[in-house]
Structure 1
Amino acid sequence: MSTSQLQTGYQTELADFRVTFSRGGAYTAIVLVLLGVGLDYAQYPHLQTSFAVARLLVSLLIGGIVLMLGSALGRRLTPWLTLSWLLLPQAMISWMIWQTDGVQSPYYMGLNLAIFASGIALPFGLWQNLVFGVLSCCLYLLACLLPPHGGAPIGTMTVNVLLLLFAAAASAVYTFFNERVRFMLFRLKAEVSEKNAELEAINRKLLDIKGQLLQQEKMAAVGTLAAGLLHEINNPVNFCLMAIEVALEEPVAKTEAALQECLVDARHGMQRIQHIVSDLKTFAYRKPGAEVEAGTPFLFEKALDSAIRLIAHELRGVAVTRELPADTLVQGDEAAIIGVLINLLSNSVLAMRNAGTSGPAIHISVKWSGERLHVTVRDNGPGIADEYLARVFEPFFTTRDVGQGLGLGLSISYAVIERHGGLLYAESELGGWAAFSFDLSRAP
């Protein structure tokens, strides 16, 4: 924290401190002023009535100043308002000295008491304290020198004035060092607060690093497993793909639309097997933000058709509606996008079935926005709780029962869309619906 910021913060806190202490001191002064009727009764019973009226009037005036402290203007003028209400009892005491025995009056001690209190207990500034001390001395001199006390003992009066000046000087010193101590305490508090904030930031960074290290270990394990699977599965999958390609070239397949469709679906299924393992490996060692390095144009509509056909058994009893533009030609990895769609559709179906949704339905909305094709898969299921919505794409995060899923489907889907230069995000209304959206680039 810079010196200017520290000074600004200190002045703000000091303003609150001054208002609070000035108000408390004023209440104390009112109590002491009113309790002084006991002294009046003991020393000057014949003046008790007039003194009581004076005490009541001063107490009311102090109360009025206390009310002013609550305003914005009063907050800015707190030191001078404090000086004002402190001078009211001093003026009253000086008048009582003049009304009684002048230099010999016992009320003189009240002046000293107020001067010491201003330096020790009240948040006065140095100059305000000096002004208060000098004015108190002037009031005392007037009380002692005005008729009928013109012939007051000069020695006693001089001693009393010097004692008032000594008290004012001592109070000024107290004020100076109290101010410094307050500033040092504020600076220490500010430093402690700043260090605590730094420690909290360091702790957050350490937690992030710990989480990243754990995640890297998990991803390394997934990558090792995926690499082994890719090696073991690729050969039989390639044989199947080769056989499917040969079958597609047969005259019977070309004349039988149903057979050709089945073979095409089988080919997509084999490609999906390849890409699932490949995506796992890519996900384990992915570079966030990296776009697809090589992609081919494909019709998103056909990819959607393939995804719906491949999980048709899961979609039984679910109303699936689509809203697509005439042109859906995009650039990317068709098999990977099919995998994303399958994952989103499967998750929707599972969530609706687990919640017992009445009339389960999925609506797929596709539209162009500039050079990006925006896709939204929305269901009328139970929705996603707010505490889970921000975590659905975290690897290994799942709300399913143990053994029902690894929590990798949405993470892998997120990585796939990220590699395509897009963003996969979730929206939901708990108890109403859930929607997952992503975007793809237009084919050149």
Structure 2
Amino acid sequence: MFGNQQIDQEILVSYNIYFSDLRKKRLKIVILLALLFIALFGILDLTLYPQTASTLIKSRIVFDAILTAYFLAIFYRPWIKNMRFAVMLVIITILTQINILIFITHDGATSPYYAGLTLAIVAITIVIPYTFFETCTILLSCLVLYFLTLIVDHQVHGTPYHLPLLVNNLFFLISTNTFCIVASYLNVILRFNEFRINFDLRTTLGKLKTAQAQLVHSERISAVGNLSAGLLHEVNNPLNYAITALQVMKMDPNVSSDADLKETAADIENGMMRIKNIITDLRAFAYPQEADRQFQFKIHEAIESTMRFTAHETEDIEKIVNVPQDLMVRASKSHIVQVLINLITNADKAINKAKRENGKIIISTKQENDRVIVSVSDNGIGMNEETLQKIFDPFFTTSEIGKGLGLGLSVSHTIIKNHNGNLAAKSVLGEGSEFYFDLPI
């Protein structure tokens, strides 16, 4: 239809949907206008053919009834689902009705209703979008119907052909048809090119909007990182002093010989080491490596950091970690932690939505050739197929207004993609979800 142009399949599919919807809307307009004009032109029957007016008006009533049946069958009782067939059926019916009027008048080529053919062809070509093939088929049908009407009129009523007038009518009818064919072809090309420009514009705007949102998201993360960097310095120094003082205190004979004091000192040391681990994680968050500055690390370490970050949110949920201690991956550790935080946070929200008393989050890994598959699954509320198709779209969120921008999974998907991997999901509504991604070793 579009010559040798290289057309993106996505654009073509979208255009076909648009084209079908446009034809359906325009066909509704054509049927309503046809019903109106078929009835109004009954005035011509009374004026020009008072003797046969009743027959002509009955014909109009019959065809109005047929078009009304088409209208209901296409738009309210979708018995006719093929829109191309529906368009052809309606137009051939309108052309048939005009030719029947010509036949009833017994005037052959001299009938004034001939003008109705030209008017109908031009009007329909303007209103309804056709393909080039459909235009040729409709206009050829118009000529064939007109010829058959004149032949049958001549055979049944003895109406002369009036050759000079017939040649004149055919000349104008063929000229009009040729004009309509050319106009329809040019309209198809123009309509598609306009659609492609608009499609590209919408796609570009969507990408810009996504990039802007991710930039804002990154700026917020950067701001949190900068704040964390300042706090780290202020917290880390006194913490080191406290840990040093604790070590000195543990060497005191009075402490080492007293079981209660020794246990208390051990508890204090565990608490301080936990704070130190959190500070280490925050430092990695405050000074993240770029995605192209990847190095090998134990995936278990990234998961441990994530568990510490999300410990407060998921304290009432059972966490099961099935990850080998020595399994290595090559990636940006801080970015992988960011992805895991998003996945575990979403799992926590899904479990809370489902109001599970035995909420469970399972984190597991497995090695396939030179890739490591990381999986985060939950027994939360799950997702239907429609939601599953949209979860990685920017701004798509199932959270309440003001409780999420819908960027977490979109950003995570981009991070994994930048690691030459893929983030995917599967889910069963009411049972839970599983998100998984792969990383190189």
Q: Which of 263, 280, 283 is the matching residue for 1:282? A: 280
Q: CA deviation at 1:132?
A: 2.4
Q: Secondary structure at the match of 1:286?
A: helix
**Aligned residue in 1 for 2:19:** 14
**Aligned residue in 1 for 2:125:** 119
Residue 424 of structure 1 contacts residue 437 of structure 1 at CA under 8 Å; is this kept in 2? no
Percent sequence identity over aligned pairs: 16
User: Could you say if the C-alpha distance between residues 57 and 269 of structure 1 is closer, same or farther in structure 2, counting changes exceeding 3 Å?
Assistant: same
Q: Which of 256, 276, 301 is the matching residue for 1:248? A: 256
CA distance, structure 2, for counterparts of residue 2 and residue 219 of structure 1: 50
Q: CA deviation at 1:96?
A: 2.4
User: Could you say if the C-alpha distance between residues 138 and 434 of structure 1 is closer, same or farther in structure 2, counting changes exceeding 3 Å?
Assistant: closer
Residue 322 of structure 2 contacts residue 362 of structure 2 at CA under 8 Å; is this kept in 1? no
Residue 79 of structure 1 contacts residue 125 of structure 1 at CA under 8 Å; is this kept in 2? no
CA distance, structure 1, for counterparts of residue 95 and residue 319 of structure 2: 83
**Aligned residue in 2 for 1:238:** 247
User: Could you say if the C-alpha distance between residues 426 and 68 of structure 1 is closer, same or farther in structure 2, counting changes exceeding 3 Å?
Assistant: closer
Letter in 2 for 1:278: K
Q: Which of 52, 55, 59 is the matching residue for 1:54? A: 59
CA distance, structure 2, for counterparts of residue 36 and residue 284 of structure 1: 82
Q: CA deviation at 1:435?
A: 9.1
CA distance, structure 2, for counterparts of residue 142 and residue 439 of structure 1: 77
CA distance, structure 2, for counterparts of residue 269 and residue 280 of structure 1: 17
User: Could you say if the C-alpha distance between residues 80 and 277 of structure 1 is closer, same or farther in structure 2, counting changes exceeding 3 Å?
Assistant: closer
TM-score, L = length of structure 2: 0.61
CA distance, structure 2, for counterparts of residue 48 and residue 39 of structure 1: 9
Q: CA deviation at 1:197?
A: 2.0
Letter in 1 for 2:130: F
Q: CA deviation at 1:134?
A: 2.8
CA distance, structure 1, for counterparts of residue 160 and residue 251 of structure 2: 130
Q: Secondary structure at the match of 2:81?
A: helix
CA distance, structure 2, for counterparts of residue 89 and residue 13 of structure 1: 26
Residue 223 of structure 1 contacts residue 280 of structure 1 at CA under 8 Å; is this kept in 2? no
User: Could you say if the C-alpha distance between residues 117 and 103 of structure 1 is closer, same or farther in structure 2, counting changes exceeding 3 Å?
Assistant: same
TM-score, L = length of structure 1: 0.61
Q: CA deviation at 1:166?
A: 0.8
CA distance, structure 2, for counterparts of residue 425 and residue 106 of structure 1: 75
User: Could you say if the C-alpha distance between residues 368 and 290 of structure 1 is closer, same or farther in structure 2, counting changes exceeding 3 Å?
Assistant: closer
Letter in 1 for 2:144: C
CA distance, structure 1, for counterparts of residue 273 and residue 119 of structure 2: 90
User: Could you say if the C-alpha distance between residues 109 and 424 of structure 1 is closer, same or farther in structure 2, counting changes exceeding 3 Å?
Assistant: closer
1:215 partnered with 2:215: no
Structure 1 or 2, whichever has the larger Rg, is 1
Superposed structure 1 runs of 4+ greater than 6 Å apart? 364-372, 422-425, 432-441
Q: Secondary structure at the match of 2:251?
A: helix
Q: Secondary structure at the match of 2:130?
A: coil
User: Could you say if the C-alpha distance between residues 160 and 292 of structure 1 is closer, same or farther in structure 2, counting changes exceeding 3 Å?
Assistant: closer
Letter in 1 for 2:17: T
Letter in 2 for 1:228: N
Residue 319 of structure 2 contacts residue 360 of structure 2 at CA under 8 Å; is this kept in 1? no
Q: CA deviation at 1:12?
A: 2.0
Q: CA deviation at 1:189?
A: 2.2
Q: Secondary structure at the match of 2:52?
A: helix
Over the residues paired in the alignment, what is the CA RMSD in angstroms?
4.3
Q: CA deviation at 1:284?
A: 2.9
Q: Secondary structure at the match of 1:191?
A: helix
CA distance, structure 1, for counterparts of residue 240 and residue 126 of structure 2: 85
**Aligned residue in 2 for 1:86:** 91
CA distance, structure 2, for counterparts of residue 440 and residue 134 of structure 1: 68
Letter in 2 for 1:108: Y
User: Could you say if the C-alpha distance between residues 47 and 194 of structure 1 is closer, same or farther in structure 2, counting changes exceeding 3 Å?
Assistant: same
1:27 partnered with 2:32: yes
**Could you give the per-residue CA deviations for residues 361-411 of structure 1, whole angstroms, max 9, x where no partner exists?**
xxx999998899xxxxxxxxxxxxxxxxxxxxxxxxxxxxxxxxxxxxxxx
> Structure 1: which 5+ runs fail to align?
254-259, 294-331, 349-363, 373-413
CA distance, structure 1, for counterparts of residue 317 and residue 99 of structure 2: 89
Letter in 1 for 2:216: L
Letter in 1 for 2:38: V
Q: What does 1:262-281 correspond to in 2, within 5 Å?
A: 263-272=261-270, 274-275=272-273, 278-281=276-279
Q: CA deviation at 1:55?
A: 0.4
Letter in 1 for 2:22: F
**Aligned residue in 2 for 1:179:** 188
Q: What does 1:10-409 correspond to in 2, within 5 Å?
A: 10-70=15-75, 74-76=80-82, 78-100=83-105, 101-145=107-151, 146-147=153-154, 148-243=157-252, 245-249=253-257, 253=258, 260-261=259-260, 263-272=261-270, 274-275=272-273, 278-286=276-284
Residue 56 of structure 2 contacts residue 104 of structure 2 at CA under 8 Å; is this kept in 1? no
Residue 93 of structure 1 contacts residue 111 of structure 1 at CA under 8 Å; is this kept in 2? yes
Q: CA deviation at 1:52?
A: 1.1
Using the TM superposition, name which of 127-136 and 37-46 deviates more.
127-136
Q: CA deviation at 1:429?
A: 5.0
User: Could you say if the C-alpha distance between residues 24 and 224 of structure 1 is closer, same or farther in structure 2, counting changes exceeding 3 Å?
Assistant: same
